[in-house]
Amino acid sequence: MTDHQRLLIIDFGSQVTQLIARRLRELNVYCEIHPYQKVTDAFLADFAPRAVIFSGGPDSVTRAGSPRPPKSVYTLGVPILGICYGQQAMMEDLGGKVEGGKISGGGGTAEFGRAFVTPANDRLPLLDGWFATDREQVWMSHGDHVAKLAPGFQVYGTSPNAPFAITADPDRHFYAVQFHPEVHHTPNGAKLYENFVRMAGFTGDWTMDAYREQAIAAIRDQVGDKKVICALSGGVDSSVTAILIHEAIGDQLTCVFVDHGLLRLGEAEQVVTMFRDHYNLNLIHADESDLFLGKLEGVSDPETKRKIIGGLFIDVFQKYADGIEGAEFLAQGTLYPDVIESVSFSGGPSVTIKSHHNVGGLPEKMGLKLVEPLRELFKDEVRALGRELGLPDSFIGRHPFPGPGLAIRCPGEITREKLEILRKADAVFIDQIRKHGLYNDIWQAFVAILPVRTVGVMGDGRTYDFACALRAVTSVDGMTADYYPFTHDFLGETATRIINEVQGINRVTYDITSKPPGTIEWE
């Protein structure tokens, strides 16, 4: 996608570098993150950025051999913004001085957490929209601090512990801040990025509308008249991948929807209806539930369940894919966070590449080339692209659903009877959540059927049925999570509905475990 205006983020290893990229993408600016080790003079010349941002990082510029950008970045003639470690690297490179932080005491100490910056000197266009009141809240996280400015720089904002909180050489368009404008705790930080890219002349040419057209052209270019196969799960990533490729090459694409019999109520029908009937896609509905459920019979160990499902998935997909004559490409919904190279400090100057294996190892095994049209996108952008492609909001905003499906929500042995009960209970719970307008406030919600029967009383009779657990969590990325604070009324109403409407369940519990120490799924 070389025809976009491009911004380069040089990564020095900050935990929040990806947030910088997301803030910029929200401004319709195309940016890429690259580890500092990779950014050479030749790389810079080839990338031809319209602006450059130096990220924060854990190292100290006072250490000999600490990470730096190549010197040629300062003669490109483009605006540069240094953040935290990036500020310090810029100062040292350009003739200023950085000192190690003292933990307490006035004037240039280590500082972690919320701070308030007040303006100094003239108004700087980078700060348009800032200081409507006399101070702005920012998030600091630094040990070292700038002690002497590089020639040409002035101070434009100070905080009690960071006299050089905002610095700039406006003539050269070099800007450097001690705090992190990309994080949520710098509430007005987005404005700073907006001003920076405006000054750099970005026109906001990165939109999903434009991307759609270019991605389609790129897919046609890559695939030519060859055939592509795609494992469609019904999740957002694989769905958007499939629809985009279908728009590009129509019937040259065949999708294989592996139905392992562990899907939610009505899910398989919905996927088939939407993709085959609505989008007119070549879709193979590989209904292999007998195979999967057969192999899972009598298996209780969670890891064994996962291994069985993962292994069978590959075998089944391969069987159907082999039947598609002349397929040369495999489509995958790999996203940008899966391919960003991260700075590795433990392993010296090497970089670690995280790779994504939806259908692990298959491309090599089958001699297929990959088509990955979402490789440049963040999840939010995939959703926006999905909307462009006509996917309904209700589909795009769906909670994540794990590959092994209901198997990991059915602790103990999996039986068809338990799956049937689980599906019905889950549908009631989700219906309740939607009816109460809570669906979009929750990261993920589902029911787990417990491997225990309990005694109950209904009408005049005694029951001996399964107990289930409701699980609903809030989360940003699935790495940590909190249980959702439903009201007692909501929980009571939901329990009553499940027990009344789902035969086979006579007890409902609510799982109030956070992650950590729990996981979101039960297995």
What are the structure tokens assigned to 280, written together? 């007119």
Could you give the CA distance from residue 1 to residue 310 in angstroms, rounded to a whole number? Answer: 34
Q: Binders of ligand XMP among 386-405, rule CB under 6 A? A: 400, 402-404
Cβ atoms within 10 Å, residue 268 = 18
Residue from 4, 34, 84, 142 carrying the catalytic annotation? 84
Q: Binders of ligand XMP among 290-329, rule CB under 6 A? A: none
Stretch of 11-19, 175-183, 187-195, 513-521 contacting ligand XMP, by CB under 6 A: 513-521
CB of 523 to ligand XMP, least distance (A): 8
Is 267 exposed, middle or buried, given 0-12, 13-18 or 19+ CB atoms closer than 10 A? middle
Could you give the CA distance from residue 140 to residue 149 in angstroms, rounded to a whole number? Answer: 19
CB of 235 to ligand XMP, least distance (A): 8
β-partners of residue 166 are 157, 177
92 is known as an active-site residue = no
What are the structure tokens assigned to 85, written together? 């470690």
- The residue type of 445 is A
CB of 422 to ligand XMP, least distance (A): 15
Considering the complex, state which of residue 83 and residue 408 has its C-beta at the smaller distance from ligand XMP. Answer: 408
Considering the complex, state which of residue 107 and residue 400 has its C-beta at the smaller distance from ligand XMP. Answer: 400
What are the two backbone dihedrals, phi and then psi, of residue 197, each rounded to the nearest 5 degrees? -70, -30
Residue window 434-463: x/- pattern of binding to ligand XMP, with contact defined by CB under 6 A: ----------x-------------------
What number of residues does the chain have?
Answer: 523
Is 123 exposed, middle or buried, given 0-12, 13-18 or 19+ CB atoms closer than 10 A? exposed
- Total residues interacting with ligand XMP, rule: CB under 6 A: 10
The residue from 95, 201, 478, 492 that contacts ligand XMP (CB under 6 A) is 478
32 is known as an active-site residue = no
Residue from 92, 111, 136, 182 carrying the catalytic annotation? 182
CB of 274 to ligand XMP, least distance (A): 20
Considering the complex, state which of residue 199 and residue 410 has its C-beta at the smaller distance from ligand XMP. Answer: 410
β-partners of residue 52 are 8, 80
CB of 445 to ligand XMP, least distance (A): 11
The alpha carbons of the chain give a radius of gyration, in whole angstroms, of 27
180 is known as an active-site residue = yes
Could you give the CA distance from residue 289 to residue 96 in angstroms, rounded to a whole number? Answer: 67
| DSSP classification of residue 158 | E
Residue from 180, 246, 260, 285 carrying the catalytic annotation? 180
Could you give the CA distance from residue 93 to residue 69 in angstroms, rounded to a whole number? Answer: 9
197 binds ligand XMP (CB under 6 A): no
CB of 261 to ligand XMP, least distance (A): 16
Catalytic residue numbers read 84, 180, 182
Q: Which residues bind ligand XMP (CB under 6 A)?
A: 400, 402-404, 444, 478, 515, 519-521
